[in-house]
């Protein structure tokens, strides 16, 4: 599959299928990098979608993204592109609310859904594996600015998993928050919820 | 790029996905976070995420003849459950009051436990949120019967009133003039009912009308369910002598009845046992032959609540061997349907998880407690919902 690595900040994203003319949208990041992205992928960004729907702007003019860096956008594009691919593995008109007990789908559909779920699981596990907390936060800010719900959900879920067993100091550092309890007040809370401090990861 | 601070909504989103233990620990991060985790909007959002995950199993059992509860969290990666950990239940110091069973877990992280005092006809109740380790002992029933009246604490239920955002316990008492007849099912004995409801906000009991069920025997402790804001028990009509489902709506405090499906084709069973369950947000009825060495479970589901014709026999499970007998309160057989799994508590005290799709049977383990003997299993989702102050 393409674009597993993203160290190259400006990959050529267009994989032309013979004979097909891929419509692309040009994006310009805060640090001046230009990205040409397939329209389908760019339309995953809520911000881009409304920009091109609201303004009858020509799709060839680069859309400025002043709050997103080149490296972040590259990662975001990789995610959205892969996510689209995985979603296309599931045939349409499959209700996502169907419980396993209401097995009204055909065998083939169920298999496809299972395969897609597995792909997504593996892809998501790999995607953030080597990202530092700072990198993840940068991605969150980008996903938030670009209004990409699925990516933002995934990132928030992942951060929750990362920090859930960490200490209070770790959380303070991660969120950039100062404590404002007096040492006595804090000691009191720690005592009241002593059980919540058991088994916490070492910093 | 320098240190990036995340916007409030995103911080909120992340925090609302954390387990309760993490949130209690992070309460001391700073004052605004402490307050945030007690905010009802946050608690609702958190519960929403909590309930999206696979539920845990709460098991009620006995260890060395003492009641114990164990919690089995759902594994993240697959559909199974982690080994259980015994929970601390510090509700009744001393030996006089003993915990009996879980009466209800109404889905928002709060559980009601039933207890009994030696020599007393009335049950006691405790409301409990195990995740935040808060509990409230419900005050005793303010009911007294004269000495020539005998009575029985027949059935109880627990739930949440969504309209008034209040927890309630409902209890059905049956009483009769003590005429010397020892068997209260004797048709010569006139049975009366009294129903009391406890609401957490008033911390008191009050009597409610129960005319609807005056001619119905309600079977308490018999695989009850809580669904759509109503508690449901099995029952039997006195006159026409057929089985029925009795419901109590927690919001408007009204009793109702639901017909059971026509089970005449199961008359070949030696001993039919029924258990109520919830399947896909509908009332389900599991019917099985208690005596058969290989168990077959018929699972009926009513697709339109209240419409007898909409009962459909949706699944037939089995024959399953290796499940000797099912136990539960009042020997009724405890069965829990969870998505594509059935949980059965069998007579060796094992909780058995049967996966409908994989057709596999696994046992729920409790770490380090080989003498643990399960009697009941419930689905459980943790929450921050507070029940005291």
Which chain A residues are Cβ-neighbours of B356 within 8 angstroms? 100-101
Token representation of residue A173: 């550092």
Token representation of residue B238: 């006195």
Interface test with B, best of A95, A156, A162 (most B CBs within 10 A): A156
Q: What is the pLDDT of residue B282?
A: 86
Token representation of residue A166: 């960490």
Backbone angles phi, psi at B72, to 5 degrees: -115, 100
Higher pLDDT, A14 or A74: A74
Between CA B149 and CA B155, with CA B152 as vertex, the angle to 5 degrees is 145
Average pLDDT of span B144-164: 89
Interface test with A, best of B2, B3, B4 (most A CBs within 10 A): B4
Q: Which of B11, B19, B279 sits opposite A175 (nearest CB)?
A: B11
Q: Which of A101, A138, A160 sits opposite B4 (nearest CB)?
A: A138
Average pLDDT of span B228-242: 85
Q: Is residue A69 within 8 angstroms of chain B, CB to CB?
A: yes
Q: Is residue A141 within 8 angstroms of chain B, CB to CB?
A: yes
Query: Per the CB < 8 Å rule, is A156 touching B1?
Result: no
In the structure, what pLDDT confidence band is assigned to residue A57 with cuts at 50, 70 and 90?
A: low
User: Is the pLDDT assigned to residue B332 strictly greater than 50?
Assistant: no
Minimum CA–CA partner of A121 in chain B: B77
Q: Which of B11, B25, B29 sits opposite A196 (nearest CB)?
A: B25
Q: Is residue A122 within 8 angstroms of chain B, CB to CB?
A: no
| Residue of B300, B269, B268 lying closest to B286 (CA atoms) | B300
Q: Is residue A176 within 8 angstroms of chain B, CB to CB?
A: yes
Q: What is the pLDDT of residue A2?
A: 43
Q: What is the pLDDT of residue A90?
A: 81
Tell me the nearest-neighbour CA distance from B128 into chain A, angstroms: 16
Give the range among A144-148, A192-196, B336-340 with minimum mean pLDDT: B336-340
Share of chain B above pLDDT 70, in %: 83
Identify the top-confidence range among B163-172, B185-194, B312-321, B339-348. Answer: B163-172
Higher pLDDT, B79 or B286: B286
User: Is the pLDDT assigned to residue B99 strictly greater than 50?
Assistant: yes
Minimum CA–CA partner of A169 in chain B: B29
| Residue of B100, B82, B84 lying closest to B156 (CA atoms) | B100
Give the range among A99-113, B79-93, B171-185 with minimum mean pLDDT: A99-113
Q: Quick one: angle between helices B8-15 and A149-163, nearest 10?
A: 60
CA A87 → CA A13, A83, A125, A171, A197, distances in Å? 19, 6, 17, 34, 40
Q: What is the pLDDT of residue A51?
A: 82
ipTM of the complex model? 0.82
**Sheet order of strands, B360-363 included:** B335-338, B341-345, B351-355, B360-363
In the structure, what pLDDT confidence band is assigned to residue B97 with cuts at 50, 70 and 90?
A: confident
Q: What is the pLDDT of residue B21?
A: 95
User: Is the pLDDT assigned to residue A162 strictly greater than 50?
Assistant: yes
Q: What is the pLDDT of residue B76?
A: 60
Outline where chain B has alpha helix (H): 8-15, 20-26, 31-36, 40-52
Q: What is the pLDDT of residue B336?
A: 73
User: Is the pLDDT assigned to residue B66 strictly greater than 50?
Assistant: yes
Q: Is residue B310 within 8 angstroms of chain A, CB to CB?
A: no
User: Is the pLDDT assigned to residue A196 strictly greater than 80?
Assistant: yes
CB-based contacts of B63-68 (< 8 A; 24+ apart in sequence): B63/B369, B63/B371, B63/B372, B63/B373, B64/B371, B67/B98, B67/B99, B67/B100, B68/B369, B68/B372
Q: What is the pLDDT of residue B267?
A: 55
Q: What is the pLDDT of residue B271?
A: 61
Higher pLDDT, A132 or B345: A132
Q: What is the pLDDT of residue A183?
A: 94
Q: Which of B15, B17, B28 sits opposite A190 (nearest CB)?
A: B28
Tell me the nearest-neighbour CA distance from A108 into chain B, angstroms: 16
* C-alpha–C-alpha distance, residues A67 and A77, integer Å: 15
Q: Is residue A120 within 8 angstroms of chain B, CB to CB?
A: no
User: Is the pLDDT assigned to residue B58 strictly greater than 50?
Assistant: yes
Q: Is residue B280 within 8 angstroms of chain A, CB to CB?
A: yes
Q: What is the pLDDT of residue B334?
A: 62
Q: Is residue A91 within 8 angstroms of chain B, CB to CB?
A: no
pTM (predicted TM-score): 0.83
Query: Per the CB < 8 Å rule, is A152 touching B339?
Result: no
**Whether A84 contacts A44, CB under 8 Å:** yes
Q: What is the pLDDT of residue A8?
A: 47
Q: Which of B24, B339, B357 sits opposite A196 (nearest CB)?
A: B24
Share of chain B above pLDDT 90, in %: 34
CA A125 from centroid of its chain's CA atoms: 12
In the structure, what pLDDT confidence band is assigned to residue B356 with cuts at 50, 70 and 90?
A: low
* Helix/strand number for chain A, H first, E second: 8, 3
Q: Is residue A107 within 8 angstroms of chain B, CB to CB?
A: no
Q: What is the pLDDT of residue A188?
A: 93
Query: Per the CB < 8 Å rule, is A101 touching B30?
Result: no
In the structure, what pLDDT confidence band is assigned to residue B353 with cuts at 50, 70 and 90?
A: confident
**Number of Cβ pairs closer than 8 Å across A and B?**
91
Query: Per the CB < 8 Å rule, is B1 touching A134?
Result: yes
User: Is the pLDDT assigned to residue A195 strictly greater than 60?
Assistant: yes
User: Is the pLDDT assigned to residue B318 strictly greater than 80?
Assistant: no
Q: Which of B24, B133, B340 sits opposite A101 (nearest CB)?
A: B340
Query: Per the CB < 8 Å rule, is B6 touching A137?
Result: yes
Between CA B254 and CA B259, with CA B309 as vertex, the angle to 5 degrees is 35
Q: Is residue B357 within 8 angstroms of chain A, CB to CB?
A: yes
Q: Is residue A197 within 8 angstroms of chain B, CB to CB?
A: yes
pLDDT digits (tens, 9 = 90+) for A8-51: 454 555 544 444 456 888 899 999 999 999 988 988 999 988 88
Q: Which of A101, A157, A175 sits opposite B17 (nearest CB)?
A: A157
Query: Per the CB < 8 Å rule, is B22 touching A178?
Result: no
pLDDT digits (tens, 9 = 90+) for B161-220: 999 999 999 999 998 887 666 555 666 778 899 999 999 999 999 999 999 999 898 988
For chain B, the average pLDDT equals 82
* C-alpha–C-alpha distance, residues A40 and A3, integer Å: 17
Q: What is the pLDDT of residue B189?
A: 77
In the structure, what pLDDT confidence band is assigned to residue B384 with cuts at 50, 70 and 90?
A: very high
Average pLDDT of span A107-129: 86
């Amino acid at each position: 599959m393409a674009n597993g690595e993203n160290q190259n900040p400006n990959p050529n994203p267009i994989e032309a299928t013979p004979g097909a003319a891929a419509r692309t949208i040009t994006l310009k990041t805060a640090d001046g990098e230009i990205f040409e992205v397939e329209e389908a992928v760019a339309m995953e960004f809520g911000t881009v979608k409304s920009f091109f729907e609201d303004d009858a702007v020509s799709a060839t003019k680069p859309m400025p993204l002043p709050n997103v860096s080149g490296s972040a956008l590259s990662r975001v594009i990789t995610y959205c592109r892969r996510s689209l691919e995985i979603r296309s593995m599931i045939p349409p008109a499959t209700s996502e609310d169907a419980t396993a007990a209401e097995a009204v789908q055909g065998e083939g559909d169920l298999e496809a859904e299972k395969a897609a779920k597995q792909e997504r699981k593996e892809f998501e596990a790999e995607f953030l594996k080597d990202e530092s907390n700072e990198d993840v936060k940068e991605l969150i800010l980008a996903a938030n600015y670009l209004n990409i719900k699925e990516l933002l959900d995934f990132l928030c879920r992942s951060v929750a998993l990362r920090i859930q067993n960490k200490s209070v100091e770790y959380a303070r550092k991660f969120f950039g928050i100062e404590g404002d309890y007096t040492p006595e007040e804090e000691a009191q809370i720690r005592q009241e919820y002593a059980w919540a401090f058991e088994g916490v990861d070492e910093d | 790029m320098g240190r990036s601070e995340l916007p409030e909504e995103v911080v909120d989103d992340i925090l609302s996905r954390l387990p309760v233990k993490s949130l209690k620990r992070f309460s001391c991060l700073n004052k605004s976070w402490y307050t945030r985790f007690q905010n009802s909007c946050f608690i609702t959002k958190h519960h929403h995420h909590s309930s999206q995950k696979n539920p845990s199993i709460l098991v009620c059992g006995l260890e060395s003849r003492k009641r114990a509860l164990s919690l089995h969290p759902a594994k993240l990666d697959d559909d199974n459950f982690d080994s259980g950990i015994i929970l601390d239940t510090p509700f009744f110091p001393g030996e006089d009051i003993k915990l009996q069973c879980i009466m209800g877990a109404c889905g928002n992280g709060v559980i009601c436990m039933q207890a009994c005092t030696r020599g007393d006809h009335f049950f006691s109740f405790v409301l409990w949120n195990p995740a935040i380790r808060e509990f409230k002992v419900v005050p005793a029933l303010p009911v007294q019967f004269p000495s020539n009246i005998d009575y029985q604490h027949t059935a109880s239920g627990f739930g949440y009133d969504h309209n008034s955002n209040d927890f309630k316990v409902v209890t059905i008492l049956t009483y009769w003039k003590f005429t010397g007849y020892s068997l209260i099912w004797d048709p010569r004995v006139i049975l009366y009912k009294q129903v009391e409801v406890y609401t957490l906000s008033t911390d008191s009991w009050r009597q409610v009308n129960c005319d609807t069920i005056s001619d119905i025997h309600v079977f308490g402790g018999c695989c009850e369910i809580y669904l759509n804001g109503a508690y449901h028990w099995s029952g039997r009509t006195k006159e026409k002598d057929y089985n029925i489902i009795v419901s109590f709506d927690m919001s408007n405090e009204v009793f109702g009845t639901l017909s059971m499906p026509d089970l005449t084709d199961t008359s070949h069973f030696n001993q039919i046992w029924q258990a109520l369950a919830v399947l896909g947000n509908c009332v389900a009825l599991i019917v099985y032959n208690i005596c058969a060495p290989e168990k077959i479970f018929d699972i009926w589901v009513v697709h339109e609540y209240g419409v007898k014709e909409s009962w459909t026999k949706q699944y037939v499970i089995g024959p399953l061997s290796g499940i000797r007998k099912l136990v539960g309160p009042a020997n009724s057989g405890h069965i829990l349907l969870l998505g594509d799994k059935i949980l059965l508590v069998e007579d060796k005290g094992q909780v058995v998880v049967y996966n409908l799709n994989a057709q596999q049977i696994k046992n729920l383990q409790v770490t380090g407690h080989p003498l643990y003997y399960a009697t009941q299993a419930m689905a459980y989702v943790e929450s921050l919902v507070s029940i005291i102050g």
